[in-house]
Every structure is written in structure tokens, then in C-alpha cells.
Chain A
Amino acid sequence: MTRRPPILSILIALIGAAFFLVPLIATFNFSLRMKRGELSFAAYRSVFESDTFLSVLSFSAVASLMAIVLGILIVVPTAYWVRLRLPRMRPVIEFLSLMPLIIPPVVLVFGYVRIYGTSSILPLTMTQMGTNILLVIGYVVLSIPYMYRAIDNGMASIDIATLTEAAESLGASRLRTIAVVIFPNVQSAIVSGAFLTFSISMGEFVITSLLNRPAFGPYLVQMGQDFAYQPSALAIMAFVFTWVCMVLMELFATRKPGQRLLPWFVRRTVQKGKL
């Protein structure tokens, strides 16, 4: 086999790298230009100093975390049960878990505001709390394709049947089996799915905006309309945030079931403390 001189390869890789990096460099450069004639982090400072930023950020963080918890509570028992007892249901559940990729969020939320709107049987959007619940549910739905995939993959790599039998022969109830035996074994998979969910729902715009929630997505759009330099700073922060979430997701997805969540040095200290 002859090796092609990779000049063409290098050229293509360089063009690709330029396409990926130039917008980031341009955005970063732009974000530093708030003060005329000098490069400064003034735009970032201005973002961090605004109360709105902190309030929308915490609102989104809380909503995203709730979505992660709710998602785990729904997906883990389902994936477990389907693998253990209902393999025939598998295609149905898989199809359902992929449906959110087929139904665009704007369509989904349209259905929500009609079904759970003011004049319905379950008027969730009547109260602030109800709307918040609906928002969290929307985030859960958006994340289910990824969450289900991650957790199902995690379950594929452990022997559920044997673990369940062992737990049951020791007298554990079904709930206890899931909570104490299965859950810790798919922990990495869950955390991996959680980071993806987190990165999706933190900046979610469509559902959030149509439910009128004071969250990060609509705030970003508003900033884009009102300011020149702050949006670039926010875009850079969003990119870094996405990067961190993806790296953590990857880290946990490739972790083997036996491994602990904490790095070894933390683990050792904890164990020593216990002993």
C-alpha cells in the first residue's frame, strides 16, 4: 500500500480547523472590545455584575437539576425493567425514547400550552409553580433520548439478572434492589447522561420562552437585542460551559462500572477516614 503524501490532508485539516476556530477567535476578540481603544474584560464584568444574569442563571440551573433528577427517576427503573423482564417491550420503549428527536420542541410546547393551558382539565400554566413544573417536564422530554441511551448502555455492561437474583436471594425488595444495587452500578452512565441534559437545558430557548420563564435562554436573546459586546462574552462563556459538560460526559461515559466516581486520591482519603 502506497502512502499518499498528506499535503492535501493537511490542507483540508487546516481549512476545517480555520472554519471551527475563526468564529471563536472573532467572538473572543469582539468580547474584549467593549472599552474603546483597549482590550479588556469589561464585557464579562458587566455580565457578571448584573443581577438578572445571576437570577436567570440560578433559575436555569435549578430547573435543569430538577430535570436531571426527574429524568433519572423515570428512566432508570424503566431501562432496568425492560432489560430484566420485558424485552419484548424494548422496541416500543426505544421508539418512545427517540420520539423527542422527531417532534420539534416548538411543536411539543404548542401541545403543552393547549393541553395544560388555562381552560383544560389539568391547568398547569395557571400558576407559576405549575408552569415551572411543565418547564422541567419539557426539559426531561428533550433529554430522554440521550438519558435513555446512556443509562441503557450502562445497564448493558453489567449483569443485571445475576445482580438482581443475588439481591433478591438476600431478601432485598425490588425498590431496594434498584436503589442499592443497580443504581450504584450504572452511576457513571447516569452522570454522563446528566451532563448532556444539563448542557441542553441550561440554554434552552424555545420551550422556556413560550412558557415565559425567567431563564437563561430568553435572557440571552434579550441581551442580543439590547447590547453589542456582552452577547459575545456570553457566547464564549456558553462555549466553555458546553465544552466542560461534554468533557465530563465523555469522562463518565467511558468509565467502567466498578470504578468510583471520585478520583483515586479523594477516595483514598475518604476510605482512610472511614477506617
Chain B
Amino acid sequence: MPFLLFALLFLILPVLYLVNGAFQTPDGRYSLETMLSLSAPEIASSYLLSIQLSLASAAMGTVFGLVLGYTLLLGGLPGWVRRAFMTFSGVASNFAGVPLAFAFIATLGRLGLVTLVLRDIFGINIYAAGFTLFSFWGLALTYLYFQLPLMVLMITPALEGLRPEWREAAESLGASRKQYLTRVALPLLAPSVLGCFLLLFANAFGTLATIYALTSANFPVVPIVLFQQIRGNVLYNPNLGYALAVGMILIMGLTNTLYFILRRRAERWQK
């Protein structure tokens, strides 16, 4: 089958090659040394930074996306508002990479429109207050532009699965709105929400182009370090590059596995 051959050549073999290299020393001896050197301070701090950034942007995306999704579907808004948001979300969730970086520079960069409006009209100089777009929170906010719509799109089926009967049952038993939300709706949604969170995490973890264009590769998250390593051996150890790649695969694999387990659980309530 051509597909299997293709997958073998361009998906499985490259990964196996990297895994193999990650368990060797530069002189070709098999050992755990290379993988263990991932715990060296500057490498470990890259992973930490990547994980923190992904967590922050995924958490914001999950919470705001859930709120927005819930509002759109169950908030009593007219249908055209929902349709407009859904269409826009489809586009925005795919609007990533370099152009997104440009858009945020024009918005929240040093001379961005929002920065200037805040400074000249509201007298708030966000850059003087210590904010820069090229910092942790600036990047997390930029990621939110594709994370939030992605969350809205992904959580919609789960929200549609919340049956009105459950709400009516809760209300007829005397539950307040808050009680319905916290005791019925949220527990039902929890597996889906957590699953979406994991996907958003993975989505942010693999992101490279946006951050590259925003910071000119000066923000040492793992994908950037690996990118620089491939460009020209910055780690002075080719095998460490392999280990870096395998570390990424492990984190992505783990996140996605957890997601599939959660999705199974979530599907119990969606028929």
C-alpha cells in the first residue's frame, strides 16, 4: 500500500532515526547519557518555559473559550451572532504563524494601535508599566488569538450535548442557576473541557513560527532551540538535538494520549 510506504518513509523512519540518535552518545555508543543531559539547566529551563507558556495560553483559551462558547450557544443570543462567531473562529483558529505575529505587532507592539490609543487617549503607557509584546504574557496573549476560537469550535459539540431536560430536572428540584452550573453542567462538561485543554496545550507547545517572527528567535522555548540547533549546531552535540526532539515527541504523545482517554469518557454523555 502506497500510504503505508509513505508513512514509513516520511513519518516513522524519521522519528525512529531521532529516537535512535537520542539514545546514543556522539561516538555512537548506546547510553542514556544524552537523554539525561536534557536535565542540564539551560535545556531544562527551555522545557519549563515551553510548558509554562503552553499552560498559560491553553488555560486562558480554555476558560475564555468555554465562557464564550457557552454564551454563544446557551446565552440567548440571536442565531446570526453565533453563526458569525463560528465562521470567524474557523478562520481565526487557522490564522497563525508569521502573519499573526505581524498583526499583534501592529496592535500591541511599541507603536501598535492599541498601545498608542491607551497611551494618548487613556494615559496608560503599558510599555512604561513593564509590558512588552515580546515577553511571556505578550506571547501568551498572541497565542490566545488562535487558542480561543479553537476552544469555541472544539467545545461546541459538548455544549450542544447538554440536554435541556437536565436543566429542567435540576430546576424542578429547586436548583438555582449557579447550582445547575456547578453541580450539573460543569461536571458533565469536565472531561470535554479537560480534553480541549490538553489539545490547546499541545497546539501551543508545537508552535514555532509565531514566536520566531515575534521575537526574532530570541525566546528560548524548545521548538526555537531545536530550530536553531538544526540551523547550526548551537548545542555542540548533535545527539542532544535528537534528545530535544524526542522530549518534544514524548510530551506531545503524552498529551494526546490523555486527550483520547478523556474523549472516550466524554463521549459517554454524547449520543
Q: Which of A73, A103, A106 contacts B208 (CB 8 A)?
A: A106
Contacts of A68 in B (CB 8 A): none
A 87-107 binary contact with B (CB < 8 Å = 1; else 0): 000000100100111111111
A206 contacts chain B at the CB level, 8 A cutoff: yes
Binds B, one of A7-15, A47-55, A56-64, A256-264: A7-15
Chain B interface size, under 10 / 10 to 19 / 20 to 34 / 35 or more: 35 or more
For the complex formed, measure the closest distance between the CB of A82 and the CB atoms of chain B, giving whole angstroms: 9
B75/A30 in contact, CB under 8 A? no
- With A16-B68, A26-B112 known as contacts, the answer to whether A217 contacts B10 (CB < 8 A) is no
A250/B90 in contact, CB under 8 A? yes
Binds A, one of B23-31, B185-193, B226-234: B226-234
B107/A26 in contact, CB under 8 A? yes
In the complex, the chain A residue whose C-beta lies closest to that of B224 is A106
Interface SS of chain A: helix
Contacts of A206 in B (CB 8 A): 208-209, 223, 227
Contacts of A26 in B (CB 8 A): 103, 106-107, 112-114
A210 contacts chain B at the CB level, 8 A cutoff: yes
A131 contacts chain B at the CB level, 8 A cutoff: no
In the assembled complex, the Cα of A104 lies from the Cα of B225 at a distance in Å of 13
Q: Count of A residues near B, CB < 8 Å?
A: 76
Binds B, one of A159-167, A174-182, A185-193, A236-244: A236-244
B237 contacts chain A at the CB level, 8 A cutoff: no
B1 contacts chain A at the CB level, 8 A cutoff: yes
B102/A103 in contact, CB under 8 A? no
- With A16-B85, A205-B97 known as contacts, the answer to whether A242 contacts B91 (CB < 8 A) is yes
B113/A25 in contact, CB under 8 A? yes
B171/A99 in contact, CB under 8 A? no
A-contacting residues of B (Cβ < 8 Å)? Answer: 1-4, 6-7, 10-11, 13-15, 17-18, 21, 64, 67-68, 71-72, 75-77, 81, 85, 87-88, 90-92, 94-95, 97-107, 112-114, 144-145, 148-149, 164, 167-168, 171, 177, 202, 205-206, 208-209, 212-213, 216, 223, 226-227, 230-231, 241-242, 245, 248-249, 252-253, 256
Knowing that A8-B71, A13-B85, A78-B1 touch, tell me 4 more A-B residue pairs with CB under 8 angstroms: A4-B76, A30-B106, A93-B3, A101-B202
